[in-house]
A and B are shown apart, each in its own frame.
Chain A
Amino acid sequence: MRTVLTRELKRFAHTPRLWFLVVVAPFVLPGLLIAMFVERAPTELPVAILDYDNSHLSRQIIRALDATPGIRVQGFPADLQAAGSLVRRGEVFAMVALPPELERDMLRGEAPRVQLYYNRQMLTAGNVIMREVRTAIGTVGAGIGLAQGVFPPVRTDNHPLFNPGLDFARFLALPLIVTLLHILVVIVAIDVTGRELRESTAGEWLRAADGAVLRALLLKLLPYFAWFALAGMGLLAFSAHVLGLEVRGHGGLWLGGWVVLTAACMGLGVFLAGLFGNLRMATSVASVVISPAFAYSGMTFPAEAMDGFASIWSHLLPLGHYLKLQTGQLAMGSSIAASLPHLLWLLPFVFLPLLVIKRWRRLLSDERLWGAR
């Protein structure tokens, strides 16, 4: 038993690539994402104004727009043409046109309409602007309406649950960190097993395990599993802390879930490496499976709105299940019962390699299967 382990540690120590994948990348990549998303400086998205009224009211509206936390008034282009160019150049995200006779119409109760032209290709920015402009104009209108003795009978009071500051960047950072770590675990699991075949050292590996295939695989992966499970838990806890996310549910379930995800990713990696018996091919296929996993996870576009194949694939992949567990336990304080099914779904992935264990036996003992590139 000791021989497989010591052999693996020696191999690891002499391989710069593994040092990078196992020791450097798990810290550098999450660090990069944290740096990207941690600054919570309010983003003021630039908006251009076309003021055709030039009245007391139009100036009041401009001030109200500038005062919103999400946008800032930048630039007064001469006409719609010039304003459009500012949008296409990316200097502003939207333009607000205040029509002539705005104030007069307003005082006559003719309900004038402010025109908002906004860039919806940049969906996130566009939606923020739409919301802010509607709120600002609505508030100005309601103030004047109230003075005239008119008000809407029923109003909506919005409550953003679990994220009162609508600080979506922070809520995206942690899932992205998990995504990167899970890619790393799969890559490493495939690399350390598949490379033995590629470099024709598989026989030596099997001999070190006294010919027992399962033992060879388990002992080889054990140090990586222990490392990624522990370092991953530390990294997630640290990242959540730095990002200012507090645990509202069960921290143990959240971090314990990561340990299970680590095992599931190793299972997936060893399964693919065994299935293809070729390091390059297994890595290619793993990339197809896990690189787009975040898009399918439902963290951005809701999984409920996916259909057909996308919906099935979204429910099949381990990443989405873990991210739902994490968001539930971390941000929302979900019950254990609600998160448990996600955890259970990860378990079959841990045992995936058993499906190809016979193939692994052949791969490790048949020299003709070695050296494929």
Chain B
Amino acid sequence: MGSFGILLMELRAALTDRGVVLIIIGGSIFYALFYPLPYKAQVAVGLPVIVVDQDGSAHSRDLIRRVDAVEQVRVIEVTREARPAETRLRDMQAAGMLLIPPDFERDILRQRPVQVGAFGNAAFMVMYSQTVTGMSNAVQDFSGEIVRERKLAEGRPPFLADTLAQPLAVDLHELFNPDGGYANYVVPAVLILILQQTFLIGIGMMGAGRREQGLARASGLRELLAQAGAYVLLMAVLLGFFLLVVYEIYDFPRFGRVADVYWLLLPFFLAVTFLGLALGQMFRSRETAMQLMMLVSVPAIFLAGFAWPAEIMPGWLVAAGQLIPSTPGIDGFVRVHQMGAALDEVRPSQIQLWVLAGFYLLLAWLGTRFHREAAVS
């Protein structure tokens, strides 16, 4: 049979196997749509905070109004007592607390420096940074207003006030992911992982199924490559669905060229497919692939190094993670598609993907030879 015939046969075999279709087509699409849902809001806003106002003055009430007005937090309670407020923080009924000290107004009027306390629940990263940023912004705003009033009272032009409130300031320019969206940050990487995991399961199930039923499996290099072509084709189509439909639905930003993305990920598709074919020769039962991949997903996403800079992990673990196709796959994809990197700027990831594709091809091929010899003897 010609190579193209084998490819078509494999495609047909995969698409008529209900279990496999459910995972590689149904699973990919479902996870790609379901996984971003919790992050749809992109930015956490309106987190509940308690204000402990130990001053109870016009100035403190003005500050409270400003805190309530920032988008990150909303004031759910104003109290004089710090203790009960802390208890509510411990019991997770509030995300943060602003402490306005006694003599707040008096000290401001006497032009003494005043500090207010911004307390946030730092057991949760996003919650902490949002609440504390929100409260600090409100305080900074309030502080600027005080300077402005003072200068006006002194008869100086108010525009100088900003200068005096902050002698040296920072302008923030976001490169990529302009609104700091959480979904924008997590989902592109996860989509690549979804593609890898569902196809490793699907291809593994095909292999294990053939083994269970005692059917012949790929025996030569040509046959292996032709079979792989079927899955590469399917992955390419699903990636197209992700980039067109999922990106459109959730409105994720994109900076890169689609052609670059495909050219970069071609060796990723190949590496995943060959790894799947190699693993499929090891599984005794079809469900094992699924069970194993459910467990691998969590470590794999962190080893990819996008969620957490890889610098904090021990070197041997980072090195082991480089064997997983998603590690360079995610890195390259995020840089090209989310950050608009040119292909030569992601060359190391690209080369690594080709090396992995070659390595897993060798593994899958050796596997078929081993099995053929086992079958003969």
Which A residues contact B (CB, under 8 angstroms)? Answer: 17, 21, 25, 29, 32-33, 35-37, 39, 41, 43-45, 84-85, 87-90, 93-94, 106, 109-127, 130-131, 133-134, 137-138, 140-142, 144-145, 148, 150-164, 166, 168-169, 171-172, 176, 179-180, 183-184, 187, 191, 279-280, 283-284, 287-288, 290-292, 294-296, 298-307, 309-310, 313-314, 324, 327-328, 331-335, 337-338, 373
Q: Is the CB of B114 within 8 A of A162?
A: no
Min CB distance A16 to B, Å, is 8
CB nearest to B187 among chain A residues: A295
A180–B295 touching, CB < 8 Å? yes
Interface residues of B in 18-76 (CB under 8 A from A): 19, 22-23, 27, 30-31, 34-35, 37-41, 43-48, 63
Whether the pair B176, A111 counts as a contact (CB closer than 8 A) is: no
- A25, B162: Cα distance in complex, Å: 59
* CA A161 to CA B50, docked complex, whole Å: 14
* Given A153-B108, A154-B114; 20 other pairs, CB 8 A cutoff: A45-B309, A89-B346, A110-B163, A116-B170, A120-B174, A121-B177, A127-B129, A138-B168, A153-B114, A153-B143, A156-B116, A160-B132, A187-B291, A279-B287, A283-B287, A283-B291, A292-B31, A295-B35, A307-B41, A313-B37
Q: Which residues of A contact B142 (CB under 8 A)?
A: 154
Distance to closest chain B CB from A339 (angstroms): 8
Tell me which of B27, B167, B313 contacts A39 (CB under 8 A): B313
Residue of A nearest to B334 (CB): A121
* Contact residues, B146-161 vs A (CB, 8 A): 146-147, 150, 160
Q: In the bound complex, what is the Cα–Cα distance between A254 and B290 (angstroms)?
A: 30
Q: Does B375 contact A (CB under 8 A)?
A: no
Report yes or no: A158 in contact with B116, Cβ–Cβ below 8 A.
no
Chain B residues with Cβ under 8 A from A179's Cβ? 298
Contact between B299 and A334, CB atoms less than 8 A apart: no
Closest to A296 in B: B38
Task: Determine if B171 and A115 form an interchain contact, defined as CB atoms under 8 angstroms apart.
Answer: yes
Contact in complex: B287, A335 (CB < 8 Å): no
Residue among A44, A166, A291 having the largest count of chain B Cβ atoms under 10 Å: A291
Q: Identify which of B39, B160, B291 contacts A109 (C-beta below 8 A).
A: B160
Interface residues of B in 99-158 (CB under 8 A from A): 108, 111, 113-130, 132, 135-136, 139-140, 142-143, 146-147, 150
Does any Cβ of A come within 8 Å of B245's Cβ?
no
Cα A311 to Cα B20 with chains together (Å): 31
Can you list 15 A-B pairs, Cβ within 8 angstroms, ordered by A?
A43-B309, A109-B163, A113-B171, A118-B173, A130-B172, A150-B164, A150-B167, A152-B113, A154-B113, A155-B113, A168-B125, A179-B298, A292-B34, A306-B41, A314-B38
* B37 and A309 contact, CB distance less than 8 A: yes
Which A residue's beta carbon lies closest to that of B26? A284
Q: B339 at the A/B interface (Cβ < 8 Å)?
A: yes
Interface residue tally on B, bucketed by range: 35 or more
Inter-chain CA distance A338–B86, complex, in Å, is 14
B39: which A residues are within 8 A, CB to CB? 295, 301
Binding site of B, secondary structure by majority: helix, strand, loop or mixed?
helix
What separation, in Å, do the CA atoms of A25 and B293 have in the docked complex?
Answer: 12
Chain A residues closer than 8 Å to B163, beta-carbon distance = 109-111
| Other-chain residue from A43, A169, A295 in contact with B38 (beta carbon distance below 8 A) | A295
Residues of chain A lying within 8 A (CB to CB) of residue B126: 300-302
- Output the nearest chain A residue to B335 by Cβ-Cβ distance: A88
Residues of B within 8 A of A122 (CB): 185, 306, 309
* Chain A residues within 8 Å of B284, by CB: 17
Nearest chain-A residue to B48 (Cβ)?
Answer: A304
The answer to whether A112 touches B168, judged by C-beta atoms less than 8 angstroms apart, is yes
Asked if B167 and A145 make an inter-chain contact with CB atoms under 8 angstroms apart, the answer reads yes
B5-13, B88-96, B224-232 - the one binding chain A: B88-96
A111 to chain B: closest residue by CB: B163
B358 CB → nearest A CB, Å? 24
B291 cross-chain contacts in A, Cβ below 8 A: 17, 21, 187, 191, 283
Cα A228 to Cα B48 in complex, Å, equals: 37
Partner of A294, one of B119, B180, B298, B313: B298
Which residues of chain A are near B363, meaning CB under 8 Å?
A: none
Residues of A contacting B331 in the complex (Cβ-Cβ under 8 angstroms): 90
| B residues in contact with A298, CB < 8 Å | 124
Q: A36-B302, A125-B309, A157-B116 are in contact. Are A332 and B123 (CB under 8 A)?
A: yes
Q: Return chain B residues, CB-CB under 8 Å to A126.
A: 174, 177, 180
**Assembled-state Cα–Cα distance A303/B290 (Å):** 28
CB distance from A154 to the nearest CB of B (A): 4
In chain A, what residue has the closest Cβ to B176?
Answer: A121
B160 with A43: CB separation less than 8 A:
no
Q: For residue A37, which residues in chain B have a CB less than 8 angstroms away from its CB? A: 312-313
The residue of chain B having its C-beta at the shortest distance from the C-beta of A279 within the complex is: B287
Assess A160 versus B175: contact at CB under 8 Å? Given A109-B164, A111-B168: no
